[in-house]
Amino acid sequence: MGAEVGYFLYRGKDAIHIAETTAATAVASVVGNTEQVADSLFSEYLLPFEVASLLLLVAVVGSVVMAKKRI
């Protein structure tokens, strides 16, 4: 962290421009990865995703029912 701060202080506005360009590129690649994960999740892995969501729903409802019985 200290090296980055020293570099920014040494280089001035040029370093800030480089950092902004790098951050924009990183954000663009993350958006692409997110879209790829969503596409595979809702196409290839749709059935396991739905089974997991149903299992979580049953677990939440069961825990609410068990908590109500104790009160």
Q: What is the pLDDT, as a whole number, of residue 67?
A: 92
Q: What is the pLDDT, as a whole number, of residue 22?
A: 61
Q: What is the pLDDT, as a whole number, of residue 2?
A: 62
> Going by C-beta distance under 8 Å and a sequence separation of 6 or more, which residues neighbour residue 40?
none
Q: What is the pLDDT, as a whole number, of residue 51?
A: 94
For residue range 25-67, list pLDDT tens digits in order. 665 566 678 888 888 888 888 999 899 999 999 999 999 999 9
CB hemisphere CA count around 44 (13 angstroms): 5
